[in-house]
C-alpha cells in the first residue's frame, strides 16, 4: 500500500486528490496535514512514500495582498516542508507550481504557446514566489528523494474558485456572450487527480505540464455551460476590437480572452490521465 500525505488540508486540489484516491481503498492510504502555525513541524512524516504539497496562497486569494506573504508561504514554507520530508525519509515530494511562472497571457488576437525551451518570466509576486520555490526545491532531487514540480494551467471543476465560477454564472444566466477566438490550456480537476495518482505510482521526478487533451476557448466554454443547462447562448461576433480597447484598462478582460497554451507535446504521460474531454468535464461540473 502506498502511503501519501497531502499538505493543505482544506485546499481544493488536495481534497480532489484524496477523493480520487479513495476509489482504491486497499491501494492507497491518504492523510492530510495543515501547515498553519508551527505544530506540524513536530509531526513525523516517516512512513509516507509521497508528500503532495498543495498548501499555498493563490494569486486570486483574499488571504493576502502582501509581497512577503507570497514568499513566506509559497516559497519558504514549501522548501521547509520538502526538507522535513527528505529528513524523515519520504521518497517523493510533489510541488504544485503553476503556468503563472510564464507570465501573463498573450493579448487578445494573439497566441502564446509554451514549449520546453520557453523561459519562465513571472509578472507578479505570486508567479515569482512559485519560481523561487522551484529553484530551491529542484536541487534537492536525488536518487533517494525525488522532487516533482507540476506547472498546472487553470484547474477547474465543481465548487472551484476563480475564473471558471464566473464563466459558469454567465453561462447559466446571461442570454449572450462575445464570440472571440482564443486558446488556453486548462486542466479538469479529475484529470489532474488522476495525473497525480500516476506520478505517485511511478515516484516520478522533474517538471511536468499536465493539461486537458484539447485546448479551450472562453466563448466555447460559456456556450457549453449554457448548453449543459438546456439553454442557448447567443454568441455576438465582431467584439474583438472593442474588447482590445477595454483590455487596456481592465486586466480581467485580458485574463478572460487572452491566450496562453502549452504545446501538447509537453503534456503526455503513460496511461490516460485525461478521464474527461472538455465537454464531458463541463457537463460533469455543471451537473
pLDDT reading at 62 higher than 70: no
Q: Which domains does the chain have, with CATH numbers?
A: 2-160+187-214+262-276 (3.40.50.720)
pLDDT in tens, 163-213: 899 999 999 999 999 998 999 999 999 999 999 999 999 999 999 999 999
| Residue 224 confidence class, pLDDT cut points 50, 70, 90 | very high
pLDDT, residue 246, reads 65
**Could you tell me the three cell numbers for 119?**
523561459
Rounded to an integer, the average pLDDT of 264-287 is: 95
Q: Is 151 helix (H, G, I), strand (E, B) or coil?
A: coil
| Residue 52: per-residue pLDDT | 98
The confidence band for 67, taking pLDDT boundaries of 50, 70 and 90, is confident
| CB proximity list for 115: less than 8 A, separation 6 or greater | 263, 265, 266
Neighbours of 74 (CB within 10 A): 28
Q: How many CB atoms lie within 10 A of CB 89?
A: 14
- Judge whether 263 and 114 are in contact, CB under 8 Å: yes
Asked whether the predicted pLDDT for residue 257 surpasses 90, the reply is no
The pLDDT of residue 243 is above 80:
no
Torsion angle defined by CA atoms of residues 261, 263, 269 and 274, in that order, rounded to the nearest 10 degrees: 40
94-153 confidence digits (pLDDT tens):
999 999 999 988 888 888 999 999 999 998 999 999 999 999 999 999 999 999 999 999
- pLDDT of residue 31 exceeding 80, the answer is yes
Average per-residue pLDDT for the chain:
92
Amino acid at each position: 500500500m502506498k502511503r501519501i500525505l497531502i499538505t493543505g488540508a482544506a485546499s481544493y486540489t488536495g481534497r480532489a486528490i484524496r477523493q480520487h484516491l479513495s476509489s482504491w481503498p486497499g491501494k492507497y492510504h491518504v492523510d492530510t496535514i495543515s501547515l498553519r502555525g508551527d505544530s506540524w513541524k513536530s509531526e513525523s512524516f516517516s512512513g509516507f512514500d509521497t508528500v503532495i504539497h498543495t498548501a499555498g496562497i493563490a494569486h486570486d486569494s483574499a488571504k493576502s495582498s502582501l509581497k512577503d506573504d507570497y514568499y513566506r508561504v509559497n516559497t519558504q514554507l514549501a522548501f521547509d516542508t520538502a526538507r522535513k520530508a527528505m529528513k524523515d525519509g519520504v521518497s517523493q515530494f510533489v510541488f504544485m507550481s503553476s503556468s503563472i511562472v510564464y507570465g501573463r497571457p498573450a493579448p487578445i488576437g494573439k497566441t502564446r504557446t509554451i514549449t520546453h525551451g520557453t523561459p519562465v518570466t513571472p509578472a507578479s509576486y505570486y508567479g515569482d514566489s512559485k519560481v523561487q520555490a522551484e529553484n530551491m526545491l529542484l536541487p534537492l532531487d536525488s536518487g533517494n528523494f525525488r522532487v516533482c514540480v507540476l506547472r498546472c494551467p487553470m484547474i477547474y471543476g465543481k465548487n472551484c474558485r476563480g475564473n471558471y465560477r464566473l464563466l459558469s454564472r454567465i453561462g447559466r444566466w446571461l442570454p449572450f456572450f462575445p464570440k472571440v477566438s482564443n486558446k488556453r490550456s486548462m486542466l479538469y480537476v479529475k484529470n489532474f487527480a488522476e495525473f497525480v495518482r500516476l506520478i505517485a505510482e511511478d515516484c516520478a521526478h522533474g517538471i511536468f505540464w499536465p493539461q486537458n487533451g484539447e485546448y479551450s476557448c472562453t466563448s466555447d466554454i460559456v456556450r457549453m455551460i449554457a448548453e449543459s443547462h438546456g439553454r442557448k447562448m447567443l454568441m455576438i461576433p465582431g467584439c474583438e476590437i472593442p474588447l482590445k480597447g477595454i483590455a487596456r484598462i481592465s486586466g480581467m478582460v485580458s485574463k478572460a480572452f487572452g491566450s496562453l497554451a502549452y504545446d501538447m507535446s509537453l503534456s503526455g504521460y503513460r496511461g490516460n490521465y485525461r478521464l474527461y474531454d472538455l465537454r464531458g468535464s463541463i457537463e460533469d461540473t455543471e451537473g
